[in-house]
Structure 1
Amino acid sequence: MKTGTREAMVLSEVLRSNACMIDHYNLYMTGCQDQQLRTILDRQQRHTLDSFQRLIQMMQSHGLDTSNIPLPTTMSVTAGGAQTTTGAAQYGTQWTGRQYGQQTGTTSYSAQYTAGSPAVGTQMTAGQPGTQAPTFNDRTISEGALLFHKSGAEINTRAALESSEPHIRNALTNMARNCIEMSYELYNYMSQRGWYQLPTTPQNFVTHSPTQQQYPPQ
């Protein structure tokens, strides 16, 4: 497959998944009850939207068609006191997006966690046509957001492996790393509330350390 065609295919998949996540976050924040979770979701959505816009502009700077890429319903975001829109200045071929976890302007990408049991939203119930859309509780919202980032890390990594253009490959690698950071942020939030407990080690589980490894006689 020729260079350019491959990049267009993998970038289209990445952007579609990002647009879907951004729009789902709108739904999540509508039903979110815990202010701390809402802050995390808002921060992550802003970061993902910024990455989406930069990747669109990178495609355009490489001459790739973006007319069929589905856009999120919200294509502007205020971050660090500045307004970012689809029509912002061109970024060229060099990826200049922020690493998730860095501080830029007045926006801090590092969450602070506090102990306690937050209030949760109403339980999701099966709806009938014409009825009000169901809401999710905070545990379901955080679980869904976590799965989005786990999937995003896989999609971006696979896309980076399939891309031969250095700047695009670097951008996708950074996006995969950011998905990992955002998923870890949600994991910490869920773990502190007892929503993500690791399974206990079975009593009959056998582990072999390097010092215990047995080698066949020489």
Structure 2
Amino acid sequence: MHKNQGNQPTGQQIGQNVGTAAGQQYGAHELIEAHEVLTDHIDGINQFELYKPHVKDQQLGQIMDNQLKHMYSSYQNLVNYLHKQGAGSAAPYRAPKAANVNYGLRQPSPVEPNVNENAMDDRDVASGMLGCAKASALVCTTAALECADSNLRNIMTNCTVSSINQAYEVFQYMNQKGMYQVPTLAAQTNQTMVNTYQTGNWPQVQ
């Protein structure tokens, strides 16, 4: 049997010391999740840059610029924290102002894949932005649940909130423009489903 020479770490010790190069220990699982989040951020930023030339509506362009700026800031914040160059305290993307949602279908326009990139319009761009934010929310939520480091968990949680707010901002834009119509159930069906659930009578704690 060969002895462990000098102070060479064993395989088990190497596994236990993941992320100690910068003086901070991270679990393997949370570093893998951080990798997924950072890759998602990069993909999202690149995706938005590809969409930019196809934006015609000024309002949508402003939404994209604001979200792109925050996505890049969020990416930088996470990288800086992992490198121990920042506190990781960036605020989430601000929640959009409340707006009346238009419910019901009003002769929605048919949609289909574009045969070439020149056929992309504002609806295509907005829909892609919405899908990007929804996917990012799932990735960041999963990552937050796997983080042992409390600060890293908070960063991931902020990323989740940011993605949710970005998604709702794009939804509001699409809904007001008639691009995203919200179908509804018949009034009786709707009421029946709501009335299925009633408040419970919990026993009083002595």
TM-score over 0.5 for the pair: yes
Note if 1:126 corresponds to 2:115.
Answer: yes
1:98 Cα deviation (Å)? Answer: 2.5
Note if 1:23 corresponds to 2:67.
Answer: no
TM-score scaled by structure 2?
A: 0.71
Q: Sequence identity of aligned pairs in percent?
A: 30
Over the aligned positions, Cα root-mean-square deviation in angstroms equals 2.9
Q: C-alpha offsets along residues 123-145 of structure 1, whole Å, 9 cap, x if unaligned?
A: 97435xxxxx5351100110110
- In the other structure, the counterpart of 1:100 is 93
Note if 1:177 corresponds to 2:177.
Answer: no
Residue identity in the other structure for 1:23: N
In proportion to residue count, which structure has more helix? 2
TM-score scaled by structure 1?
A: 0.67
1:4 Cα deviation (Å)? Answer: 2.4
Residue identity in the other structure for 1:34: D
Q: How many residues align?
A: 164
1:1-218 matches, within 5 Å, as 3-61=26-84, 90-91=85-86, 94-101=87-94, 125-127=114-116, 133-202=117-186, 205=189, 206-209=192-195
1:111 Cα deviation (Å)? Answer: 7.2
1:202 Cα deviation (Å)? Answer: 3.1
Tell whether the 8 Å contact from 2:41 to 2:71 is kept in structure 1 after alignment: yes
Q: 1:210 to 1:38 in 2, by over 3 A?
A: same
Q: 1:95 to 1:212 in 2, by over 3 A?
A: closer
Unaligned runs of 5+ in 1: 62-89, 103-109, 114-122, 128-132, 214-218
Q: 1:12 to 1:199 in 2, by over 3 A?
A: same
Q: 1:211 to 1:137 in 2, by over 3 A?
A: closer
Q: C-alpha offsets along residues 187-218 of structure 1, whole Å, 9 cap, x if unaligned?
A: 110010111111121366232427879xxxxx
Tell whether the 8 Å contact from 1:124 to 1:135 is kept in structure 2 after alignment: no
Q: Following the alignment from structure 1 to structure 2, what is the Cα–Cα distance between the partners of residues 51 and 59? A: 13
Q: Which has the larger radius of gyration?
A: 2
Unaligned runs of 5+ in 2: 1-14, 17-25, 100-111, 200-206
- In the other structure, the counterpart of 1:105 is none
Which 4+ stretches in 1 moved above 3 angstroms?
110-113, 210-213
Q: Following the alignment from structure 1 to structure 2, what is the Cα–Cα distance between the partners of residues 211 and 20? A: 41
